[in-house]
Amino acid sequence: MISFPTQVDRKKRFHQAIAFWIARIISYSILLILFFILFFILKRGIGVINWEFLTAMPSDGMTKGGILPAIVGTLYLVLMSMVIAFPVGVLSGIYVNEYAKEGAIKQFVKMMTNNLAGVPSIVFGLFGMALFVNRLGFGASILAGSLTLALLALPLIIRTTEESLKAVDDTFRHASYALGAGKLRTIRKVVLPIAFPNIITGLILGIGRVSGETAPILFTVAAYFLPKLPHSVFDQAMALPYHLYVISTSGTNIQASRPIAYGTAVILILIVLGMNLLANFVRSHYSRKVKMK
């Protein structure tokens, strides 16, 4: 007969209590740090935001006035990049999930889009500059920036599309085929409508991502200071994230433009927050609808 140390269970319990408390404290601290970041910026920035801040041109070396051109610039960039990336991404997702046969080609396409997702955003910036700005001669412009951002958002949209299509039960497809519908018709009339809310979630998250990216637009669109609104897609433009970068690191008077920086940061956080909430809303709204059926 072996005998175990008499106090072993108490010791085990003691160690467990310590370990669990450490894990608990670390988790709460992480939560605390993250809330601190949000709170710190919101507290200093929310007061800055008013009608003038949103609708006026920057003035006095960007220490006063508003951020209208940056808002408009980001709006253009988001809109245009999504107009490009969304259809291409959704069609690619359809290709990967519905058309590509298992095997080398599908593997290749998946591997490539996976790798695209891992490419650092500054590399997209380099590529955008080499191809769109220089080779294709768009110059630093909304067009070049939107194309660059579209490439960056593409893997995200492909992946969400693919996953939402994968989630559609095959019985729907078989039922449609049984009624004599072709593949394309089945996808259009049956599969896509079911998968659509999830695909839209991808679009919303893509918007959140694109609106905050700085590195890809550094050399493809961004204007340091341009107190007028862009007239065409070949114009340079200001953008919110780049504006925040500029006025917090290299403005004419960094201290004086701090309030504007906080305000810009708040706008960026609110966009991400809003897009996340919207995506969650779409997701939960949709899943409730399915349950009701």
Partner 1 sequence: MRTKIETNNVHLHYGDFHALKGINMQIPERTVTALIGPSGCGKSSYLRLFNRMNDLIDGVRIDGKILIDNTDIYAIPQSEVDRLRRKVGMVFQKPNPFPKTIFENVAYGLRVNGLKDKKLIEGQVEKALRQAALWEEVKDKLKKSAFELSGGQQQRLCIARAMAIEPSILLMDEPASALDPISTGKIEELIYELKSNFTIIIVTHNMQQASRVSDYTGFFLLGELIEFDETKKIFRNPEKQQTENYITGRFG
Partner 2 sequence: MGRLVERSAEGLIKACGFASALIVLLIVFFLFKEGISFLNSSPVEDHYALFVHSGNPVTQLDEGQIKDLFDKKITNWNQLTNYEYPVVLLTAGDLERLFTPEQLGKNLEYLNACVAHYIDTVPGTLAYFSERQLGLSPAIRIVPVPNISLWKFLSGRQWFPTAQPAAIMGTLPLILGTLLVSLLAILIALPLGLAAAIYLAEIADPRMRNILKPVIELLSGIPSVVYGFFGLVVIVPFIQNLFGLPVGETALAGSFLLAIMALPTIITVSEDAIRTCPIAVKEASLALGASHWQTIFRVILPYASSGITAAAILGIGRAVGETMAVLMVTGNAALMPTSLTQPVRTIPATIAAELGEASFGGLHFKALFALGCLLFLITLVTNLLVERTTSKSRKS
In the region spanning residues 136 to 195, those forming contacts with partner 2, defined by CB under 8 A, are 151, 154, 158, 182-184
Distance CA 267, CA 67 (A): 10
Burial bucket for residue 121 (CB in 10 Å: 0-12, 13-18, 19+): middle
The number of beta carbons lying within 10 Å of the beta carbon of residue 26 is: 10
9 binding partner 1? (CB under 8 A):
yes
For 139: left if phi > 0, alpha if psi spans -120 to 50, otherwise beta; the answer is left
Could you tell which of partner 1, partner 2, none binds residue 2, using a CB distance below 5 to 8 A set by kind? Answer: partner 1
Q: Residues 49, 267: contact at Cβ < 8 Å?
A: yes
* Residue closest to 145 by CA, chosen among 61, 82, 51: 82
- Whichever of 221 and 293 has its CB closer to partner 2, that residue is 221
- Whichever of 42 and 231 has its CB closer to partner 2, that residue is 42
Q: Which stretch binds partner 1 (CB under 8 A): 11-19, 129-137, 259-267, 271-279?
A: 11-19
Please name the residues in contact with 148: beta carbons below 8 A apart, sequence gap of 6 or more: 81, 124, 125, 127, 128, 132, 216, 217, 220
Site map (CB under 8 A) of partner 1, residues 147-186, x = contact: ----------------------------------------
Burial bucket for residue 245 (CB in 10 Å: 0-12, 13-18, 19+): middle
Site map (CB under 8 A) of partner 2, residues 224-263, x = contact: -----------------xx-xx--xx--------x--x--
116 binding partner 2? (CB under 8 A):
yes
Q: What phi and psi values does residue 59 have, to the nearest 5 degrees?
A: -145, 170
From the CB of 12, what's the least distance to partner 1, in Å? 7
The number of beta carbons lying within 10 Å of the beta carbon of residue 83 is: 12
Q: Which residues pair with 65 in a beta bridge?
A: 58
Residue with tokens 């070396």: 61
33 binding partner 2? (CB under 8 A):
yes
Q: Which stretch binds partner 1 (CB under 8 A): 2-10, 109-117, 177-185, 264-272?
A: 2-10
Q: Which stretch binds partner 2 (CB under 8 A): 56-64, 126-134, 171-179, 226-234?
A: 126-134
Among 67, 190, 195, 215, binds partner 2 (CB under 8 A): 215
Among 16, 50, 55, 253, binds partner 2 (CB under 8 A): 16
10 binding partner 1? (CB under 8 A):
yes
Write out the residues near partner 1 by the rule CB under 8 A. 1-2, 4-5, 8-13
